[in-house]
Each structure stands twice: as structure tokens, then as C-alpha cells.
Structure 1
Amino acid sequence: MNDKKNVFLGGLLAASVLASPVMAGVSPSEAAKLGQSLTPFGSEKAGNAAGTIPPWTGGLRAEDAPAAYEGSGQHHINPFPEDEVLFTIGASNAEQFDQYLTDGLRAMFETYPTTFNVPVYRSRRTHAVPDWVAENTQDNAVSAEVVGQGAGIDGAFGGYPFPILHGNNEQKAWQVMWNHLTRWRGVSITRRSSEVAVQTDGDYGLVTSQQEAFFNYYNPEGNEDTLDNVIFYYLSFTQSPPRLAGGAILIHETLNQVINPRNGWGYNAGQRRVRRAPNLGYDSPIAAADNLRTADDTDIFNGALDRYNWDYKGMREIYVPYNNYRLSEAGTPYSEILGISHVNPDLTRWELHRVHVVEANLKEGERHIYAKRRFYVDADSWNTLLVDQYDGRGELWRVTMGFAKNYYELPGVWTTLDVYHDLQARRYHVLGLDTEQPSTREFTNDVPNLRYYSPASLRRRSVR
């Protein structure tokens, strides 16, 4: 595998550079801390003083997988079957743990006092990355820079761009969010899964699709020409219900969405036509989610940063959903996972972890249904695991949870279910259900012919 780091998009981003000063990377001596006092991806290697967060000792890799695990595509087997719940946080005792809770969790306890709780397990720092990603991350630490008021990045490829945060709070906030946007999730992936919008009475209907993605930012053969300002290519084919079957979406996710907004196309099976989909961004509602998820809620957060003012609020230790293997075990019925107001707490696992806290406030004159958003980003994996989202009146409106686990075949931590709670409507949406499917996400290092992800191929591959 080619692990050479590439510097790209210099010409494309020139306009943004002129519009805003860039912030160079850290010094080589600072970057040398990666893999030493810091993990290869930038978090503190040591545990906390209380001993409630352990030191990082290498994470969970393929060789650590349970013996019965056969490889990518098989539903994961819980590597920690003997771990037991240490204690459970609910409405009756939440005040005792207040310093480790988010506003969103407090609101969930208040809204669903008899059903929602957080079962806390011992903390396990399972995140890991391949050696070539770690090497690229160390190179990126020196050369990567944010350009255009957070609009894009330059000087990074094949690893986390900003493992060591630097600059002022606004610059650090941009860096955290770009680490999330470009986080390690493999090279190529295929999966079949369902999403549901759960109504107030617990009723729901499945929307099932097959998704395929190529993470061009981690292209093992990547260079300036192959990157071409595209972070990843994404295809989704709806398979059920019948009224939606045959529809498809194609996305080219761009690195700088202000200079070149994401390119999107949709295929309508009834009309047998491929059309541009220019509104797949920001707060555009997602029909399959019954409008409980916006376009930029997908993947917990995605897209351009330009409509908000960003502020880094520092590091905290909080309870986050982590190592959620029970929630994604093969054969678990969706009806057992999906409660009336939230997923079944008995299947979830929460742990104490360090997170970066980033706040986004809507700029004057800009439009978005969320006036304020607060992101809690795992310091190890750079996955955003919790989000508090506020309406225009300043009231907490929606609470997003990314139930993460380690995919030991990658290796790396990523969410297995993304869950979006609307506290005002008392409904919620779940993305990523696949326990009733014969397989789960399948990862490969294959580099596809990019014509596979072209609009011309979309209609040919979309059948009803």
C-alpha cells in the first residue's frame, strides 16, 4: 500500500487562501510527540488521574478479535462479554454525575424520566488505525492548514489532518470538525441497512437501502490528480418499501464546499431520470427520516462550515456511547432495539471518555433551522458522538447520539447506529439498522474505477 502523503488542491484553494490567512501546522518536534506521549492520532496516551479513563495501549485490532470472528462483513462478536454494568444513570440520580453529562443527556432524563437511562461500563480505549494512516497523520500535523474561514483544508492526505490542535479557539474548532469530516473509516465500504422514523406510539416503517462508498481521501494510490477535491464518493440504492424502491442518490463530497459545493444526483425510478440534486446540504430535510434529520445531520455532521461561527470550548470528560456491540449483534430483532421514545437502553453501552467540545452559532444573516449546535468529539477517534441542537428561541430541540464501536478488521472506531431525538415532537430517527440483515458493513482496500460513481452509471444501476 502506498503510504506517501500528498499535498493537494493548492491551485483550487488559492481563492480561499487570499480571502483568509492560513494557519500552518505544528513544528516537527511537536509532531514527534505522536506515538510517544500522544497516541498516533493525537489524544493523550496517559489515562486520567482518577483512573476512570485508562491509558491507551494500542487499541483493538484484527488480531484481538474473538476467535469465532471470520472477517469483514460478518456481524461483530462482542470482545468484552464479561464486562458488567458498573452503575446506571437515570432521572433519579443524574445530579450525582452532573459534571460528566451533556445538556442533551440531562434533557433526555427530564423528557423520558421512567424509560431513558445510561448504563455505564468500564472505559476501554479501543480506537486504532493502520500504520500507514498513523504515518500520514504525523506528516499532516506539520503541513496541514485550514483555508477560507474553515471552508477547506490544504496540505493533508490519508490521515487525520490536525492531530495536534493549535491556534486560537476558532481555528481549533475548525480543526476538530475537519478531523471529524476526514476521519479514518476505511478505503471502500458496502453495506445494506435500514432507517426508521419512530412515531410517538412506537410505530415505524423500514426504509432499506444498499450503500457503497469510496473514501478518496484515503485512496492508497492517491495523488493530486486522483483526489480532485473529492473526499469521498457515495451511492445509495433504495430497496424498500415498494413506493421508494429503485430510487438512488449519488454524492461527490468535496473538500472545499464553498468553492465547489458537493455534487449530488438523484434517480427517480418512476420517471427513469437522473437529475441534479443541488439541495442536498445544510438543513434540507431528509424525506426517509420523516424530516427528523437534516442533510448535514447525516453522519452526525457533514458538509460546509460556512453558515456558523465556530468556537472551541476545550476538553471534557463525559459519558458517551462507546463499544456498542450488543446493540449491533447479529439476529437482534429491530423490535427489541427500537423503544417507543428511544433505543432500548439495556442494549447500549456508555463509557467515560475525553471529548473535544465545539460550539457553532449561526451567523447573522445566515439561515439554518439550528441556531446553535454543540458537538462532543471523541478525542481518540475524532468521531462526533453527541450533539445538542438548539432552535431559534435558544431552546434545546434535538439530541443526536452516535453509538460507536471498534470495527476490529479495519481497525478503527466508527458509529454503528446514529440516533436523532426530537425532544419537542417526542419522536426519533435511527440510521444504520442491520442486525436482521445477513451481513454488516464490508470493508475492502479496493480502488474502484471512478466511472462507477458517475451520473452516467446511476441510471444503469438503478432498477426497480
Structure 2
Amino acid sequence: MLKRYSLLLLAVMAVHAQAKVEPAQAARLGQDLTPLGGERAGNAAGTIPAWDGGLAQPVAGYQAGMHHPDPYAADAPLYRVDASNMAQYQAVLPAGTQLLLQNNPSYALRVFPTRRSAAAPQRIYDATRFNALNAELISGGNGVSGVAAGIPFPLPRNGQEAIWNHIMRYRGEQISFVTNQAAVLASGGYNLLKLERNIYFVYGRDGVSPQDLDNTLFFYKYKVVAPSKVAGSALVVQETLDQVLAIRKAWRFSRGERRVRRLPTLAYDSLQPDTNGLATADVVDAYNGAPDRYEWQLQGKQEMLVPYNSYAVHQKGIPYEQILQRNTVNPELLRYELHRVWVVEATLRKGFSHVYSKRRFYLDEDSWQILAVDLYDKNGTLSGLQEIHPISYYEVPMFGSTLETLYDLKGGRYFVDGLDNNEPMYDFRAPLSPRDFTPQALRREGN
């Protein structure tokens, strides 16, 4: 595989006049830049350390199937940020985080030492350098061509390239897992929805080439396990790369109807079922789908307090009622760190509609995982906050979310997805294939 990418790199460098970036810039990857495009060095203040490769191997004591032991369990909080002192940290807090603190005086961010744990396989680093020389936006920025497996634009020049880095980041080759989600009302009440989920990634697979993609990013399927009144319902999604060229395909099996129906749309601001009207289709994974409804502006890089290394809320056996408190997730189970993030602002284009007129995304420089999002309603008022609480799945290795939250900052409600503390752990070697993600397979699933 390394030899193959070396040959591809030589071929591309021979015609570098057509390349996305100059070879001298791409050569910085793995040198003064991390292999995925972050700054390798720490900051001048010493509050952000240098990246030293991240957690690329399982930690001591880890065994396959375990909820991941916290490699930083001995860390003590450096300080806490709450409504009483947040003014002094205003420059490093997302706007939505500030409003969440203001609305909830008992809520606080526990800020820990910064640990740059993000890592990926070497082949993803090799593919990323190839992509840096060869990737290009197509269809007005609504698709990407010339890429294979890695981050498409590790040296982004605009907001569209940056958001594609998040959409196409490495998340393993396949995953089978069970998680719970809940829409927590302002009163504190909620119902858990348990889902069996499977994802088969086409982009990011070992050996994939640009020609292999056939406009497909991944296949996704879930089946409702509980509560019993809705158990058995299921969904299959075939996620396209360029969703303007070919829209996402989705089919749903309804237990009540005992039939599979093609969904006319499952994108943009269509509401997800069973989320109490809180979650649109495109807030899954912080942002997904076609970027065509927004103008994307890359505002540069900034040091911010963001969720990171969220192992405490990931541990096995924590009762879900201990996590899901009224108005917010239990802050004593969350971890925040100071990290450099890319800031991307998306503004709704004229002639398009969406419940969010503007969104401000904070993307981790080391993984391209979105860590937080400020959400603005149709009137331009700050109305919501998304937070992605990530860990390093060091057995892969892969850096991604263990818990996702979306706060309604006006109504005091919030939505949580990813509760897995009392479920089997993610299986990154599940025997999945594209045949498992068809309407026929969905029909068999429901019988």
C-alpha cells in the first residue's frame, strides 16, 4: 500500500502544475505540520503541547470489547469556568457555550491539561498527502474528486474545503454498535430510544482508489431495539459523495405497516423522528450531507475550550439517569481542553431555506472532527449549541465522538445521542458488506 501511494505521489508531482497545492507545501505534512495538516508545535504559552503522534496504540490494560480505559484518569482539572467567571475566558469560548453557562448558573466546564490524542493509521497519512496534491472541489463545491481514503484538503484554502475534511475524515472501515438517544425536556423528563447501528465506509477503506468510490461515502443502517412499542422499525441509508448530483437514498421499515418505503428526503432540515423536534437530519455527526444551501467562510484558526478526551462519560456501567440531568448533561462527567480549531462560518444562501440561518463550526486541527457548533435561528438569534464529546478509539486508531449533544438554548431542552455505557462496545471488525445495506436487507431485518 505504501509503495502504491509513493508511485501515485511521484506521478502527481511530475505534473504539479495541475496539483491542488505545490509539492513543497504538501511536503510539510508530517514535518512542521501533522500528517493531517495541524500545527505540530505547541503554542507559545505552553498551554497546548506539541503533537507527538497521538494515541496510536491501545493503552495498558485494554482488551478488545472493553469500554476504553481512560489514559488520562490521573489528570486533575486546571480550573473551572462557570457563569461567574466566564467573562475572563470569553475569547476562548464558543458563543453557544457562553449562553449555556449564562442560562445554567450551576453548570461549569472542567478544564483539564491539553492532550493531543488524535491519531490515524499510517495509510491515512499517506493518502492525505496524495490528496493534498490531487484533490479538487467539483459541482460548485458540492463534491470532491481525485481523492482516496485520507483527508481531502489538509491545507484548506476556503470553508468548503474545511467542511469536506470533516465529512470525509477517517472513521474506521466498518462499525457495529448499540447506543441510546434521548430528547430531554425542560422538565427533565425523557425516554430512551435504543438503536442497533451498522456503518460500512466506502471512502477510507484500505486499498480504495478514487475510481472505486462510485459517488459513495458510506452505508448506514439502524434498527430500533427499545422501547417495545417502536421496536423493529429500521432505516437504511446509502450516503452519496456529491448529493447534488445524486441525492442520498434512504428506506425505512415500519413495524406497524410491515413494509419498506423509500423516503422522499432525509436531508437538510427535515426532522429526525423521535427527537422531539430538536434534531434535523444534517446535525447528525455535527454536520452531514450536501453543503449547497450555505456560503462557507474559513475564518482561520483559534485557540478554544472544547470537549476533548471524554473518557469519563464513556465508562462502562454509568446509569443513564446520572448522565442526563435537567437542562444539561452532567458536567462532572465532561472534560474540556484548550485546542487549536479551524473556525468555519456557514451562512444560508439567498433563495434557500433552513431552520438555521447561520452556523459556526469549530473543527479540531488534529482530526478534522467538529467539536462544537453555534446555531442561529431564522432571525439570526443564537438559539442552539452542539457539542461533540470525542475520544481516541486507540485500537483502530481513530478519533471520534462518544457522545453528541444539541442544546435548545431558548427552551431549556436538549438532545443526546451515543449513550453506550450499558451496551456492548463498538465492533470495528464487524463482518459487514454493502449487501447488508439494501431495501431487501432492510425487509429481511424487519421479519
Which category describes the TM-score, using the shorter chain as reference length? Answer: over 0.9
CA drift at 1:52: 0.4
SS of residue in 1 equivalent to 2:141: coil
CA drift at 1:289: 1.3
Q: Distance in 2 between matches of 1:88 and 1:209?
A: 34
Give the match for residue 278 of structure 2.
292
* Cα displacement string for residues 390-437 of structure 1 (whole angstroms, at most 9, x for unaligned residues): 111111111100011111111121011000000111100000001011
CA drift at 1:154: 0.4
Give the match for residue 104 of structure 1.
96
Give the match for residue 62 of structure 2.
69
Q: Does 1:51 align with 2:46?
A: yes
Give the match for residue 441 of structure 1.
426
Give the match for residue 445 of structure 2.
461
CA drift at 1:4: 4.6
Give the match for residue 216 of structure 1.
202
Q: Distance in 2 between matches of 1:2 and 1:276?
A: 41
Give the match for residue 60 of structure 1.
55
Please point out which of 198, 205, 226 is paired with 1:240.
Answer: 226
Is contact 1:434–1:440 with CA below 8 Å preserved after alignment? yes
Please point out which of 246, 255, 262 is paired with 2:248.
Answer: 262
CA drift at 1:222: 2.5
Give the match for residue 157 of structure 1.
148
Give the match for residue 81 of structure 1.
73
Q: Distance in 2 between matches of 1:398 and 1:381?
A: 24
SS of residue in 2 equivalent to 1:376: strand
Give the match for residue 128 of structure 2.
137
Please point out which of 321, 325, 331 is paired with 1:345.
Answer: 331
For 1:419, the aligned partner's letter is T
CA drift at 1:149: 2.0
Q: Distance in 2 between matches of 1:353 and 1:188?
A: 28
With the length of structure 1 as denominator, give the TM-score of the two structures: 0.91
CA drift at 1:370: 0.4
Give the match for residue 40 of structure 1.
35
Which stretches in structure 1 are left out of the alignment for 5+ residues?
8-22, 167-171
CA drift at 1:310: 1.1
Give the match for residue 15 of structure 2.
none
Identity of aligned residues (%): 41
Give the match for residue 323 of structure 1.
309
With the length of structure 2 as denominator, give the TM-score of the two structures: 0.95
SS of residue in 2 equivalent to 1:444: coil
SS of residue in 2 equivalent to 1:315: strand
Is contact 2:145–2:210 with CA below 8 Å preserved after alignment? no
Is contact 1:60–1:127 with CA below 8 Å preserved after alignment? yes
RMSD over equivalenced CA pairs, Å:
1.6
Is contact 1:3–1:133 with CA below 8 Å preserved after alignment? no
CA drift at 1:106: 0.9
Which stretches in structure 2 are left out of the alignment for 5+ residues?
9-17
SS of residue in 2 equivalent to 1:442: coil
For 2:46, the aligned partner's letter is G
More displaced stretch, 451-460 vs 317-326 = 451-460
Q: Distance in 1 between matches of 2:93 and 2:293?
A: 28
Q: Distance in 2 between matches of 1:450 and 1:318?
A: 39
Q: Distance in 2 between matches of 1:24 and 1:109?
A: 46
Distance change in 2, residues 1:246/1:445 (3 Å): closer
* Cα displacement string for residues 285-311 of structure 1 (whole angstroms, at most 9, x for unaligned residues): 112211111000011110010011111
SS of residue in 2 equivalent to 1:218: coil
Q: Distance in 2 between matches of 1:165 and 1:24?
A: 14
Question: Where do residues 118-137 of structure 1 align in structure 2 (5 Å cutoff)?
Answer: 118-137=109-128
Distance change in 2, residues 1:36/1:436 (3 Å): same
Is contact 2:83–2:101 with CA below 8 Å preserved after alignment? yes
Q: Distance in 2 between matches of 1:223 and 1:97?
A: 45
Q: Does 1:30 align with 2:11?
A: no
* Cα displacement string for residues 330-377 of structure 1 (whole angstroms, at most 9, x for unaligned residues): 001111111101111011000000000111111111010001111111
Q: Does 1:195 align with 2:190?
A: no
Give the match for residue 382 of structure 1.
368
For 1:271, the aligned partner's letter is E
For 1:102, the aligned partner's letter is P
Is contact 1:37–1:46 with CA below 8 Å preserved after alignment? yes
Q: Distance in 2 between matches of 1:107 and 1:216?
A: 39
Distance change in 2, residues 1:350/1:3 (3 Å): farther
